[in-house]
């Protein structure tokens, strides 16, 4: 398992030009701005990065650009969540190959999923990747809300599900229940 992730780790937004194409020049400036500001890591292709609206080729361009520009200066976490466990696994393994220090995975965007099904989704990926998983609870993005006991079960069942990104307010109260 890699070094502990701590400190300020912002989600990198995806700048687009007037034609709604990825603006590589602006992306490089943004990465450099974060590095110059002293961040402790960067999250690429997070939920607020327009990830779901990007093509596989655009995602690949973003990842290669970010990894090259960061050059190992800080850890990179890559958002790899898909609505299908196998696709999430493929994206997670690819992020691992590129050098990601962790992958950030929300549950599938299938509101009908229940606790055990969500747990199985995380287990499927967690048993097949080596990097830590950041479990992202983000029900505002039409994903199922994960109750605190499920979050705790994921953490206690999957050894590399070591980090949590709570997006559902109030996070501190919910965290206390995990």
Q: What are the residue ranges spanned by the domains of the chain?
A: 24-176
Mean pLDDT within 112-116:
89
> Number of helices (H) and strands (E), helices first, in the chain?
6, 5
More confident residue, 75 or 3: 75
User: Residue 144's pLDDT band (boundaries 50, 70, 90)?
Assistant: confident
CB 95 within 8 A of CB 80: yes
The least confident of 89-93, 127-131, 144-148, 154-158 is 144-148
User: Residue 110's pLDDT band (boundaries 50, 70, 90)?
Assistant: confident
More confident residue, 106 or 110: 106
d(CA 28, CA 68): 10
Asked if pLDDT for residue 84 goes beyond 50, the answer is yes
Asked if pLDDT for residue 48 goes beyond 50, the answer is yes
User: Residue 45's pLDDT band (boundaries 50, 70, 90)?
Assistant: very high
* pLDDT, mean over the chain: 92
At residue 140, the pLDDT reads: 80
For 4-43, the pLDDT digits (tens) are 899 999 999 999 999 999 999 999 999 999 999 999 999 9
At residue 103, the pLDDT reads: 98
CATH code of domain 24-176:
3.20.20.70
What does 71-91 look like in DSSP terms, one character per residue? Answer: TTSS-EEEE---SSHHHHHHH
User: Residue 111's pLDDT band (boundaries 50, 70, 90)?
Assistant: confident
What does 109-168 look like in DSSP terms, one character per residue? Answer: S-TT--HHHHHHHHHHHHTT--S-EEEEE-GGGTPPPPPHHHHHHHHHH-TT--EEEE-S
At residue 1, the pLDDT reads: 45
């Amino acid at each position: 398992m890699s070094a502990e992730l701590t400190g300020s780790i912002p989600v990198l937004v995806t700048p687009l030009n007037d034609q709604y194409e990825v603006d590589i020049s602006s992306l490089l400036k943004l990465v450099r701005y974060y590095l110059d500001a002293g961040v402790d890591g960067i999250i690429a292709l997070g939920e607020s990065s327009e990830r779901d609206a990007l093509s596989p080729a655009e995602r690949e361009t973003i990842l290669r650009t970010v990894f090259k520009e960061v050059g190992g200066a800080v850890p990179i976490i890559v958002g790899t969540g898909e609505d299908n466990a196998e696709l999430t696994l493929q994206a997670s393994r690819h992020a691992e190959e590129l050098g990601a220090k962790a992958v950030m995975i929300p549950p599938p965007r299938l509101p009908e999923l229940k606790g055990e099904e969500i747990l199985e989704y995380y287990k499927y990926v967690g048993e097949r990747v080596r990097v830590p998983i950041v479990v992202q609870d983000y029900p505002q993005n039409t994903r199922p809300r994960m109750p605190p006991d499920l979050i705790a079960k994921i953490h206690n069942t999957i050894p590399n599900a070591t980090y949590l990104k709570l997006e559902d307010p109030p996070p501190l109260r919910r965290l206390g229940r995990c």
